[in-house]
Amino acid sequence: MEKELVVEIIELSNLGAGIAKVDGMVIFVENTCPEDVVKIEIVKQTKNYAIGKLIEIVTPSKHRVTPMCPMQKVCGACQIQFINYDYQLELKKKIVEDYVGVNRDNPKINVLVGNTIPSPQIKEFRHKIQYPISETKNSKRLIAGYYKPKSHEIVNIKYCPIQPKLCDNIIEYIREIASTYNVSGYNEKKYSGLLRHVVIRVSSDTGQILVTLVINDTKVSKNIKHFANDIFNNFDEVVGVCVNFNNKKTNLILTDNTELICGQDYIEEKLCDITFRIGSNTFFQVNPKSAENIFKYVKNYIKDNFDKPTIFDAYAGIATFGIVMSDIAHKVVSVEENEQSIKIANDVLKINNINNVELHAMDTAKYLENTPEKFDITILDPPRKGCSIESLDRTLKVTKSKIIYVSCNPQTLIRDLEYLISKGAKVSFIQPFDMFSHSYHVECVTIIDVE
């Protein structure tokens, strides 16, 4: 293959790279859009594919737009922000269809994929921000932002249009005052420096903000205490500042060890008229408005097809699905292995005066192995790795009618659906949702008949 080529991008890969074909060879080119004609340099070639580096856009696709963020090319967060939003939604549907094999002679699953339901907001929708922190070599000024694609080099972000503007202001203030309190940035190569991450949780309902400082230490010093109080006192919207202790040689951002320094250790968020409490380490969807669309979709489906069913809420987190479904259910059983999440869920039940949700702090597979109960509906909302075979087998045994599978990873979703089908289940519809606008990520809700 020639070193430099002019090619047309024909589609988008499941990881957001453009795809061209030359003499049957697939070439992946990042930062390109279907219908782009581009000049590329081949930087890697194997027997099965090649990787091209974009040199020039010869003829831009009609779907191209100017990215709203000037850092889009160097920041790894919004891979397809240069593509107009309506077409982003079409591409996400196609990503799911490609996993299913819709347009192949032998599709993996014979299933209809719906049009992607858009996010209600495509700016300032991200309400959980996790900024890695480092510092400049000479001035020792803090650097805060996101990693460049396929690297651990931090892009110093001053403005991010997908998160609330106030988050930019808080991070900039932290940069400015850090030296006053001798707060250094973390060096992950040397495992030195104090401040590793800043995690910000923002309520889309109240505007409340919780700031968590992740430090490379085991205790709170006077300087860190004063640093936290300075942040707390400077922003009216900040209702609490916590410190999370993480002195391990790990890529894990937050450990289970968090201490409240000032204010309160949670914010309140409202979804489907239910008030939730979210702490530093609480699993909760980063795009609350889009999450609400998913909850309403699932709730409407159950309401239209069942009269006061019994519901099993697996991989429950803080039991968001179970709690939202509680008013249309006879009984909900929510199971989550993280004890802190179950404690938060219990608080939510009390705040909202909900009495028909039963909580269990244990592994989903173990609970299913031992329970004698059967449920009309099981809601599966597993992590990206999907479900284990044991969990799927036991889910089939305890579910009388429908499984509703909520997935953030189409690849593991299709794998699990293939297994369920092999055991006699039927899948007729997959509904994609845009949870992470301007990225290749797509959330899906699948209705599965086990009768």
Active centre residues (catalytic): 408
* CB-based contact 296:120 (threshold 8 Å): no
User: In degrees rounded to 5, what are phi and psi of residue 91?
Assistant: -65, -35
Q: Residues 246, 250, 251, CA angle at the centre, nearest 5°?
A: 100
SS3 132: strand
Distance CA 53, CA 38 (A): 10
DSSP H or E segment with residue 197: strand 195-202
Q: Report helix angle 165-177 to 222-234, nearest 10.
A: 140
* CB-based contact 41:52 (threshold 8 Å): yes
Helices (H), 45-201: 85-100, 165-177
In sign, the C-alpha dihedral spanning 381, 384, 385, 386 is positive
E strand segments, 250-374: 258-263, 267-271, 274-278, 310-314, 331-335, 357-360
Paired strand residues for 359 = 334
